[in-house]
Structure 1
C-alpha cells in the first residue's frame, strides 16, 4: 500500500463539482507537485488533504489510516502557504519552536531542531527578530522552517513562493529542495510556476477542471504528454500547435489510433530551427525577434499558414530580422500528433505499424 492514497476523492460546492474522482498513490519520501490553471482544483485538493476542506466523497489514507474525517490538527502534517501566517508578537525563534513546545518536546531537542533549520535557511542572525522586522523572503523562510522542525508525516505547500520576486523564488526553491532531501520528507506542493514544478518534483500531477490529466516525472510530461493540454501547459514558450492533414501515419505511431485526415501537430520552440531560405524546405517569414540575452525567440509566419506564427528558440547569436525570408526545419523525433479530441497519438511499442 502506498504511503498516501487518494481514492475517488470528490468535492462539490452545491451543484458544481470542483474535484472529480481523483485517484492518486504517493510513496513515502516522494515530492509531488500539483500544477494546473486557476480553477483546476489543485488547491482544493491540497486543502482536503490538509483537513481545511471537507471531502464530498472518497477516502484519503495516510500511512494506513483514513484521515478523511479527522480534524486537521490530528493528521500529523505541516502546511506552508503564501501568506506566511507568523505570530506577530513572537520572535523568529519562538515562531519556529511554538508547535514543538505545545507538543511538550524536551527543550534541548527543540533548540537542536530550530538551530538546524535556521542554519539551513540562513536565519541564524534573525532568530531574535520579530516578523515586522523581516523582509517577505525572510518571513517565508521562517514559515518553511516552522513546518520542517515538526518533521510530520506529510508536508503541504500551497504556492509558498508566489508573493516573492524572481531571485528570491529561485533561492528559496533550492533551500526547500535541500531540506526535503535531508529529511526524505513526503511532500505535496501546489504551484502555478512551471520552473518550481519541473525542478522540485519527483512526479508532477497536471490538473484541469478538477480532473487529473497526467501524472509523471517532469521528463515524462515534457517528452510524452498525454494530450494537447499537457503539451501546452508544460514548457515555456508553449508548444507550437499546427493543423495538418495526415495522408500517411509515421511508422513509429500505432496503427488504428486515428483515421487519416485532419489532426494537429505539436512541436516545441526548442526543437525548431531557422536556416537560410532553401526552396526544398518549409518557407517562413520572420515577423518578430525577442532577444533575451542567452537566447532569442523568433516568431515566424509559415508560408500558407493562417493560424499565426510559430515560435522558435535559438540559443546562439541571432542575426535574423523582421521581414527575412527563411526556412524552418525540425527534429522529426520530437513531433507530437494529436487527434481532434486533443489526445496524443501513441507510439507503437514495437516501433512499427
Structure 2
C-alpha cells in the first residue's frame, strides 16, 4: 500500500511496499522535536491520533499549506509542495468549526470553490448533495441547518473541486456523541466512494478504528507509532502508544525494572481462569450507561484505575473488591515505558 519507512521517536517502525499519495519527509513540527516520516496511500484514510496540543492541528495545517514546518518536506504525488501556495495544492480542508458562508445557500456554498475556478457547478453540486443527504436543503441558509447538516455542507464544499487529499481537522468534535458515531461511518464510506485520501486528526481512538486504514500516534509534536489500527492496538510500542489507543486510559503500574499496563476492558469482576492475575481494589465511584459500567477504583499502590465491564453489576462505592485479568492481557514494557 505504501512506500518507504515509518520512523519516529522509537526508531524504525514499519517498512512498506510502494510509494503513496502523501509523504512527510523528516518533518519537524516544533523546535527540538524528533522529525517524523510518514506516508499515506492513494484513497486511504490516515487518522492522526493524539491528545490536545500534541501537534495534530499543526500537522494538518502543514499538509494543507497553511503553516510552514520547522524543517522537512511535504510531498503530494511525488511533488515537493512544502513551499507551494495552499490554493495550488490538491488538498481540501474541513475545520472543526462549521465554516460556511452565512449569506449563501447550501447550493451556493458547495459551488463556491468551482465558481472561483470558473467551472460549471450544477452537476457536481447535485452529485455531492445526493452523496451527503443535502438534496432537500439546497436552498436553505446555513443558519437554517442542524449542526450535522452544516458539517456536511463544509465537507461537500471541500470535496467540490475533487481534491486528491482531504484534511479534516476534528470535523465531528462539535456534534453530539450519537451523531459523531454514525457520521464517522458515513464519512469512511464517502471517502472510499469518492476515491479521495484523507488525513483525519482526532483525540478519539474509536474514530481511528471506525475510519482509519492507518493511524499515526502523536505526542508532544513527535511520532510515537504508526500502522494499521488493530496492529497498533495489539502491539503498542510503548505505554504512551497503548494509552493513546485506549479510552479510558490504560491502567499502569511499575514493578522492579518494568512497567506494566492493562486496558480497562480487560479487567473482570470474576476469575475466568485459574491463572488470572488478581488485583484487590477499593471502589471510588461507579458510572453506568445501561450497557456497560465504569468502575473507578484504587489499588493499594495506585491512586486511580478504571475497569470497563459489560452490564450493570451490583457494585457500590467504598466497597473492597477483587478484579481479575488474563495473564496475556498484561502488557509489559521496559523501565522507560517502551519495548526493549
Question: How far apart in 2 are the matches of 1:83 and 1:325?
Answer: 45
Aligned match of 2:7: none
Native 8 Å contact 2:94 2:158 kept in 1:
yes
Structure 1: state its 5+ residue gaps. Answer: 245-260, 346-353
TM-score (structure 2 length as normaliser): 0.86
CA distance 1:283–1:126, shift in 2 (3 Å): closer
Question: How far apart in 2 are the matches of 1:33 and 1:226?
Answer: 18
Aligned match of 1:35: 49
- Which structure 2 residues correspond to residues 1-353 of structure 1 after superposition, within 5 A? 1-12=19-30, 16-17=31-32, 20-105=34-119, 107=120, 110-244=121-255, 261-275=256-270, 282=278, 284-287=280-283, 288-302=285-299, 305-345=300-340
Question: How far apart in 2 are the matches of 1:48 and 1:220?
Answer: 27
Question: How far apart in 2 are the matches of 1:163 and 1:155?
Answer: 19
Question: How far apart in 2 are the matches of 1:48 and 1:326?
Answer: 50
How many Å apart are 1:216 and its aligned residue?
A: 1.5
CA distance 1:161–1:329, shift in 2 (3 Å): same
Moved over 4 A (4+): none
Question: How far apart in 2 are the matches of 1:309 and 1:48?
Answer: 38
Aligned match of 1:248: none
Question: How far apart in 2 are the matches of 1:170 and 1:285?
Answer: 33
TM-score (structure 1 length as normaliser): 0.83
Structure 2: state its 5+ residue gaps. Answer: 1-18
Question: How far apart in 2 are the matches of 1:57 and 1:213?
Answer: 18
Question: How far apart in 2 are the matches of 1:216 and 1:208?
Answer: 16
SS of residue in 2 equivalent to 1:236: coil
How many Å apart are 1:79 and its aligned residue?
A: 0.6
How many Å apart are 1:159 and its aligned residue?
A: 1.3
RMSD of the alignment, in Å? 2.2
CA distance 1:323–1:281, shift in 2 (3 Å): farther
Larger radius of gyration between Structure 1 and Structure 2:
1
SS of residue in 2 equivalent to 1:94: helix
Q: How many residues align?
A: 318
SS of residue in 2 equivalent to 1:175: helix
How many Å apart are 1:127 and its aligned residue?
A: 0.3
How many Å apart are 1:270 and its aligned residue?
A: 1.6
How many Å apart are 1:85 and its aligned residue?
A: 2.3
